[in-house]
Amino acid sequence: MNLRLERVELREIGLPLKSPFETSFGRTTRRRILIIRVFDRDGASGYGECVAFETPLFNHETIDTAWLITAKHIAPMLAAAQIESASQVKDALAPIRENRMAKAGVEAAIWDLEAKLMALPLWQHIGGTRDEITCGVSIGLQSSIAALLDKVSRELDSGYQRIKIKIKPGQDVALVEAVRKRFPDITLSVDANSAYRLETDVPLLKRLDDYSLLMIEQPLTPGDLLDHSKLQRELRTPLCLDESILCLANARHANELGACRIINIKLGRVGGFSEGKAIQAFARKHDMPVWCGGMLEAGIGRAHNIALSTLPGFTLPGDVSASARYWDEDIIEPPVMVSCEGTIKAPGGPGIGFEINEDRIESLTVRRETVSVSS
Ligand code: OSB
Ligand code: MG
């Protein structure tokens, strides 16, 4: 491929969630989303969505830091690098430390552009091997156990293949016990978003072993692979790492230490498709299942997640679900829809394979900036 990039357009849109999403680190009621559009010199374009939240509570990035890093550092570095294909973006941006969500938004847009220029579905262009993916849902902390059971019941009725519930200290074993009692046979997992400590919480986390969970996701601090490996040795339930895995090296270290048995891959968290694919390939070689995580994405991010989920190592249902669970109206057409068997069909059109509702994006836009990336 001979890409000739011309400019990067940044836009911030505001989008209210249909219902608030609560995790151990906080409650989200609306998203401020950075949309990236890259243009080549012939006017063709591709879209990416930066998944950074408004607050630095999931990781250090925010939409505001990502905007600044993209406009002031990523775009100039891309201009200087004169990349010719999407696969070169990762190395071209490697001098910029961390800021993976900012890099991933731009890289995703370039992958979409490249796939469109090649008239290929993005999922095929990145090496995906299945045209249908399996879906689970992530259910936030609820106001009561009754409300939680009601939500679980409705998601199961929709066909979702795996239920994940958020937990935090004080809202953990009782929630799992109630869900397991009402739904003895479902595939169930929990996600703590780093809310527990090895020093104090091993006895409590061991109690979760009684509920045949598929996995316990990210119980401890993101940087602490060693403590996760100590915890994993105390548990029968597989640990899954999310916040801890930022790159291939982290996956390798986690595997060698026995810090987890499953990895959740999020494009933003690992810095894009190139790194995500490397982690997927490593995990596959080591018989470690991976699945695609979610960051409450609007349609563009959701479309990129669908593409990622078609790679061969993605053997567990991901947190990629229907647009209608999040938004009254998405920014893509058609919205992401899930079959009654809990699957999403990977689209057959070029690039991300969804139409972008440009009028809707325009009406939701609160700021924009265009940066040249031609040399
Ligand atoms: O840890 O996977 C997570 C939402 C916000 C922040 C972190 C996480 C989540 C989710 C929901 O679990 C994923 C989604 O439905 O998009
Ligand atoms: Mg998680």
Q: What is the pLDDT of residues 163-201, one digit of tens each?
A: 999 999 999 999 999 999 999 999 999 999 999 999 999
Statement: residue 362 has pLDDT above 80: yes
Rg (C-alpha) for the chain, rounded Å, is: 20
Residues taking part in catalysis: 166, 266
6 alpha carbon – ligand 1 mean position (Å): 34
What sections of 12-137 are H helices per DSSP?
63-69, 75-81, 89-93, 100-117, 122-125
Pocket test for ligand 1, best of 194, 319, 327, 336 (most atoms within 8 A of CB): 319
Pocket of ligand 1 (CB under 6 A): 23, 58, 138, 191, 193, 242, 293-296, 319
- Residue to probe by mutation, ligand 1, list 57, 193, 323, most atoms within 8 Å of CB: 193
Q: Is the pLDDT of residue 202 over 80?
A: yes
Q: What is the pLDDT of residue 127?
A: 98
| pLDDT of 1 strictly over 80 | no
Nearest protein CA to atom 9 of ligand 1, as residue: 295
pLDDT single digits (tens) 18-39: 999 999 999 999 999 999 999 9
pLDDT at position 375 over 80: no
pLDDT in tens, 257-282: 999 999 999 999 999 999 999 999 99
211-248 residue pLDDT tens: 999 999 999 999 999 999 999 999 999 999 999 999 99
Closest ligand 1 atom to Cα of 242: 1
The tokens 């739904």 sit on which residue? 183
Cβ pair 35, 11 in contact under 8 A? yes
DSSP H helix total and E strand total for the chain: 14, 15
**Residues 174, 188: contact at Cβ < 8 Å?**
no
Structure tokens, 185: 């046979």
Sheet-wide strand order for 5-23: 45-50, 26-40, 5-23, 365-372
Nearest to 12, CA basis, from 77, 71, 91, 74:
71
Å from CA of 295 to ligand 1 middle? 5
Residue 346: band (very low, low, confident or very high) from pLDDT cuts 50, 70, 90: very high
The CA–CA distances, whole Å, from 160 to 155, 184, 352 equal 6, 16, 23
**32, 33, 35, 101: which is closest to 69 by C-alpha?**
101
